[in-house]
Amino acid sequence: MTRPVVHQPAEWDRHSACWLAWPSHGYLWQNNLGPAQTEFAALCLAIAEEGGEALDLLVEDDPAETEARAALAPVIGQVRFHRVPVGDIWLRDTAPVFVKNRSGALRAACFRFNGWGGKYVLVEDDRVADRVAALSGLPRIDHNWILEGGSVEVDGQGTLLTTRQCLLNPNRNPGMSQADIERSLRDDLGAEKVLWLEEGLIHDHTDGHIDTLARFIAPGVAVCMEAYDGNDPNAATLDRLASDLADFVDARGRKLKVLRIPSPGIVRDDDGELMPASFLNFYIGNRSVVVPTYGTPYDEVAVAALAALFPGRRVKGRSARAILSGGGAFHCITQQQPEVQ
């Protein structure tokens, strides 16, 4: 089989920048807007400080930019502000996926977006990929099917992890079979082998995005979660995921090495509803790994476990409970732009 024309680099490869959008829509965030902005700023500082990487930040209007400039003052020299309207901040799913061609040149791959299967259709979100691609100055590649960046996880060597609950969901691409999806993932992201997990966390409105369930931390090595709390309602799902991962063989013929860290357990919103909290929704930056925490007894244990897995980076736990009220955490609101060597 011939080598794919493009490939999506692993997240641990060096980045030239990280794309984000400042949270500013009060009607969406309500009482959590201020706390979410504080958590967002802490994430940005952790990514950018000590020369980590540049931040390309989308801001809605003058007041939003003023807020963002004040919050990011310690790293303001590493922030580029772009006046771009967005529905909300989930750029992992609405921005382009950056890929490299065979010669190593970078491209912005733009997919269709339908509000996570029509559940949250926000004005402007379906145009974010186009706008970010234009701002990046990179050649763009348009793909006429729905794909969210958080639904795929790659090792940079041809292996892609995803879930049937999301990519085979009829609310995304009802006319595409599993074979069609796999062919498109190969053509558009360079996935030489697709490894399918089943379903995600309870109350995950993304229908099982992989970036809350399993992450590659190196070629051939994946990390997932384990329920430390005997009442964790996701315990059986997490055990099944770990078992399935352990049976997988990647694109290079390696049996996956599977490591486990704690699950946050039960994290509830202001109305008492269970939220899809995950320590795996971390962002791998050039110098740091920023891990979402939720005020649980397992926060420090999880951060320490991940620190042992990323010896070349500073692993930092930062609160993401307010951001989680919007449906996701740090990986969901970031999109890395790989560096061109």
Inside any domain, residue 288: yes
| β-sheet bridge partners, residue 153 | 161
Inside any domain, residue 1: no
Inside any domain, residue 105: yes
- Give me the pLDDT at residue 155, please: 98
Q: Which two tokens stand for residue 196?
A: 């399918």
What is the C-alpha separation between 45 and 8, in angstroms, rounded?
A: 26
Nearest to 109 by CA among 119, 122, 95: 95
- Give me the pLDDT at residue 249, please: 98
Inside any domain, residue 28: yes
With cut-offs at 50, 70 and 90, classify the pLDDT of residue 324. Answer: very high
**Mean pLDDT calculated for residue range 2-30:** 95
- Give me the pLDDT at residue 332, please: 98
What is the C-alpha separation between 61 and 22, in angstroms, rounded?
A: 10
Any idea what the CATH number is for the domain that residue 70 is in? Answer: 3.75.10.10
Segment 259-315, tens digit of pLDDT = 999 999 999 999 999 999 999 999 999 999 999 999 999 999 999 999 999 999 999
With cut-offs at 50, 70 and 90, classify the pLDDT of residue 49. Answer: confident
Q: Does 51 score more than 80 pLDDT?
A: no
Segment 85-103, tens digit of pLDDT = 999 999 999 999 999 999 9
With cut-offs at 50, 70 and 90, classify the pLDDT of residue 52. Answer: confident
How many whole angstroms from its chain centre is CA 186? Answer: 20
What is the C-alpha separation between 216 and 257, in angstroms, rounded?
A: 10
Answer positive or negative: Cα dihedral of 74, 10, 179, 144: positive
Q: Does 79 score more than 80 pLDDT?
A: yes
Inside any domain, residue 326: yes
Instruction: Please provide the distance, in angstroms rounded to a whole number, between the alpha carbons at the two ends of the chain.
Output: 27
Q: Which domain holds residue 89?
A: 6-338
Q: What is the mean pLDDT of the chain?
A: 97
| β-sheet bridge partners, residue 154 | 160
Nearest to 286 by CA among 12, 10, 8: 12
Contact 221, 248 (CB under 8 A): no
Catalytic residue, chosen from 18, 110, 166, 332, is 332
With cut-offs at 50, 70 and 90, classify the pLDDT of residue 1. Answer: low
Residues 6 or more apart in contact with residue 295 via CB below 8 angstroms: 267, 319, 321
What is the C-alpha separation between 171 and 337, in angstroms, rounded?
A: 28
Element (H, E) at 154: strand 153-154
Nearest to 166 by CA among 114, 131, 109, 244: 114
Domain count, the chain: 1
With cut-offs at 50, 70 and 90, classify the pLDDT of residue 50. Answer: confident
Segment 109-131, tens digit of pLDDT = 999 999 999 999 999 999 999 99
Element (H, E) at 133: helix 128-136
What is the C-alpha separation between 221 and 198, in angstroms, rounded?
A: 19
Q: Does 47 score more than 90 pLDDT?
A: yes
The predicted model scores a pTM of 0.97
Q: Is 332 a catalytic residue?
A: yes
Element (H, E) at 107: strand 106-112
150 CB burial (10 A radius; 0-12, 13-18, 19+):
buried
Q: Does 3 score more than 90 pLDDT?
A: no
**Mean pLDDT calculated for residue range 232-248:** 98
Segment 148-190, tens digit of pLDDT = 999 999 999 999 999 999 999 999 999 999 999 999 999 999 9
| SS3 at position 191 | coil
